[in-house]
Structure 1
Amino acid sequence: MDPQTDPANAIALLEGFLTNAQAWAEFYFNMLLRPWIRYQVLIAVTLLAVAWGVGSLARPRLHDWMRGREGWPRWRMRVLVIVHRRLRMIFFVALMWIAVLIMREVTWPSRSYLLAIFANLAAAWLFVVFATRLIDNPLLRTTVRYGAWIWVTLSILGLTADTQRLLEGLAITLGDMRLSAWLLVQALVILTVTIALARFIAKTTATRIRRNEDISPSMQVLAVKFLQVVLYGAAFFIGLNMVGVDLTGLAVLSGAIGVGLGFGLQKVVSNLVSGIIILIDKSIKPGDVISLGETFGWINALGARYVSVVTRDGREYLIPNEDLITGQVVNWSHSSDFVRLDIFFGTAYGDDPHKVRKLAIAAASGVKRVLEHPKTPVCHIVGFGDSSVDYILRFWISDPTGGLTNIRGDVYLALWDAFQENDISIPFPQREVRMLNDRAEETESGGILQP
């Protein structure tokens, strides 16, 4: 189609749509002048007021009844919450349909025509509200809800054909492709449906993958990420194909964009590839305790761009995946959960070193988190210092996520108690200051001390 003819067609279609809308408005305005139409409007307004009053009285009682249903499943409570919020609308729909049925029985169908339109609109809007509550994403839920309200309203009022012709006329032509407003609306609806379906499948499948204990945590993350990319990508391209968009030109365009992004987003791509490598080689997985520089904590989550590390003080560090690949990382629980800790102490030369070693091993073994089997604590002499015999006490733990500083403190405290009970002294530096009498007198008299 010639692009110069599109605006003319659009203007003609818009004029036709406005003419039809004006005729429709004049038709219903003239109908409002008839007595039986005014009666129907009055009945609808009266039923709305009654439904509002009854709903206002029933909502507190329903809320009190809901508070007593604490043991119910979560999905059932969510339905009750929706019913509680839309209780007035539910009463209005019920009263409207009762009025329509009674009017059809006692009078001609034309006497309830407007009431039937109101009842259909109210019922359709209420159904859309309940149906869209199944969508967890707030933005997607709001978009689907308002789109469905517009569509059911046009369908009930019989304006879908005119609206479609108007949107078809609002178009531009790019080469061989004609892009109309109706095509954009179709694309938006189909993409929304396909992406919502892909999101539901991905979420359900991810839950089952995480519950499978036979799959390692790193492979679970990799499988979930791969599944999400495949499903969302398939939903996007299938939606465009269903609308009728030519994907050949899109492929060429995406290739050119990919080259540009490759140069501009090198770090992002590097982190993405590094994250995939981490998941494949299983060097780091959720729950591992790692040290990277001054950061010590456990892996909370593996992302596409970064790794979330939570420290003992509650801080959450987002470390880029590239740093974990190129830097030196200490994984305290990579191949084994056993971690060895060393503490140093000294005792006086007058204390028996054999007794000190036995007391130190017994004290460490008495701490709750210290392992006795298969890794047992050991104590060795590492040197003779200026004022003490120096020892090293080595012990093992299997839960590094519980912290390292606290377990060292517990072992030191156990050593202190054991040494106090057995008269083992811990030496410390001492200084002795002596003052000569003649120098003290000379200082008091104001004399000058000679070196």
Structure 2
Amino acid sequence: MFAIAQLREEEVTMLVQVIEVIITLAATYIIAKIVTRTLGKIFEKTPFPEEIEKGIIRVSKYVVYILGLFVVVGVLGVDLTSLIVGLGAFSIAISFATSTIIQNLVSGIIVLGEKAIEMGDTIQVRVGGMNYVGKVVKIGVRSTVIETEEGQTVFLPNSIFISNPLVRIEKAAKQEGETSTKKG
């Protein structure tokens, strides 16, 4: 018959650590679910496109999982100092490598939040000596797509709408109750 009293001290310590790890993993999973649901409910009330909402929810969930992993590693008795320093250096390298992407993502959120442009608007923006005029057909996480009068599809990084003058030539007509476009 197996009795806990027969276990050696190291075995008891290991058993306690295993139980702590299981509890930590379960708590991390539950917290990630709560964060996901809470953000989902918050985003139901916002005008952000679904792809931005999903991206923010996904990143938030990963942050919870990473924090849970740190707790698990700490429970196992591993010194986190060198791991945190290494991850800090890795994070700096990643942030430099993805700075343009991050800039476009943040700019996209600002453009959507301020409603500077909307689907169907005809806009004009000048970038590096080029003048782009067209109808907004898609506002994405990293870029906005316009279609020119010549039928060209142009993908514009969202950051240009923050750093360059933007002219809304024609505002899109409202879906309900409004049939003509407004100037503005």
TM-score between both structures, scaled by the size of structure 2: 0.51
Q: Are 2:129 and 1:296 aligned?
A: no
- Match for residue 267 of structure 1? 100
Once the two structures are TM-superposed, the CA of residue 225 in structure 1 deviates from its matched residue by 5.0
Once the two structures are TM-superposed, the CA of residue 289 in structure 1 deviates from its matched residue by 1.8
- Match for residue 233 of structure 1? 63
Deviations 1:366-413 (A, max 9, x none): xx945xxxxxxxxxxxxxxxxxxxxxxxxxx259xxxxxxxxxxxxxx
- Match for residue 4 of structure 2? none
Amino acid at match of 1:300: K
Distance 1:321 1:327, change over 3 A: same
Among the aligned pairs, what percent are the same residue? 21
Q: Distance in 1 between matches of 2:63 and 2:56?
A: 11
Q: Alignment partner of 2:104: what SS?
A: helix
- Match for residue 13 of structure 2? none
Q: Are 2:87 and 1:254 aligned?
A: yes
Distance 1:284 1:254, change over 3 A: farther
CA contact (8 A) 1:285 1:299 kept: no
Amino acid at match of 1:321: N
Once the two structures are TM-superposed, the CA of residue 323 in structure 1 deviates from its matched residue by 1.6
Q: Alignment partner of 1:294: what SS?
A: strand
Q: How many pairs does the alignment contain? A: 148
CA contact (8 A) 2:35 2:60 kept: no
Q: Distance in 1 between matches of 2:82 and 2:162?
A: 37
CA contact (8 A) 2:133 2:148 kept: no
Amino acid at match of 1:275: G
Alignment of 1:38-77 (within 5 A): none
- Match for residue 72 of structure 2? 242
Q: Distance in 1 between matches of 2:139 and 2:34?
A: 22
Once the two structures are TM-superposed, the CA of residue 246 in structure 1 deviates from its matched residue by 4.5
Question: Which structure has the greater CA radius of gyration?
Answer: 1
Q: Are 2:160 and 1:323 aligned?
A: yes
**Higher helix proportion:** 1
Alignment of 1:159-308 (within 5 A): 194=29, 198=32, 202=36, 204-205=37-38, 207-212=40-45, 215=46, 217-218=47-48, 225-243=55-73, 244=76, 246-279=79-112, 282-284=114-116, 287=119, 289-291=121-123, 292=125, 293-298=131-136, 300-303=138-141, 306-308=142-144
Once the two structures are TM-superposed, the CA of residue 208 in structure 1 deviates from its matched residue by 3.5
CA contact (8 A) 1:308 1:316 kept: no
CA contact (8 A) 1:270 1:322 kept: yes
Q: Distance in 1 between matches of 2:135 and 2:173?
A: 14
CA contact (8 A) 1:290 1:299 kept: no
Structure 1 spans left out of the alignment, 5+ residues: 1-182, 339-367, 371-396, 400-451
Distance 1:318 1:238, change over 3 A: farther
Once the two structures are TM-superposed, the CA of residue 234 in structure 1 deviates from its matched residue by 1.4
Once the two structures are TM-superposed, the CA of residue 299 in structure 1 deviates from its matched residue by 5.4
Q: Alignment partner of 1:284: what SS?
A: coil
Distance 1:307 1:246, change over 3 A: farther
Q: Alignment partner of 2:165: what SS?
A: coil
TM-score between both structures, scaled by the size of structure 1: 0.25
Q: Alignment partner of 2:135: what SS?
A: strand
Alignment of 1:50-449 (within 5 A): 194=29, 198=32, 202=36, 204-205=37-38, 207-212=40-45, 215=46, 217-218=47-48, 225-243=55-73, 244=76, 246-279=79-112, 282-284=114-116, 287=119, 289-291=121-123, 292=125, 293-298=131-136, 300-303=138-141, 306-309=142-145, 311=147, 317-331=154-168, 332-333=170-171, 369-370=179-180, 397-398=181-182
Once the two structures are TM-superposed, the CA of residue 256 in structure 1 deviates from its matched residue by 1.5
Once the two structures are TM-superposed, the CA of residue 233 in structure 1 deviates from its matched residue by 0.7
Structure 2 spans left out of the alignment, 5+ residues: 1-17, 126-130
CA contact (8 A) 2:31 2:64 kept: no
Q: Alignment partner of 2:116: what SS?
A: coil
Q: Alignment partner of 1:287: what SS?
A: coil
Q: Distance in 2 between matches of 1:211 and 1:218?
A: 9
Once the two structures are TM-superposed, the CA of residue 329 in structure 1 deviates from its matched residue by 2.3
Once the two structures are TM-superposed, the CA of residue 236 in structure 1 deviates from its matched residue by 2.0
Q: Distance in 1 between matches of 2:122 and 2:152?
A: 14
Q: Distance in 1 between matches of 2:52 and 2:95?
A: 23
Once the two structures are TM-superposed, the CA of residue 263 in structure 1 deviates from its matched residue by 4.0
Once the two structures are TM-superposed, the CA of residue 222 in structure 1 deviates from its matched residue by 7.0
CA contact (8 A) 2:103 2:159 kept: yes
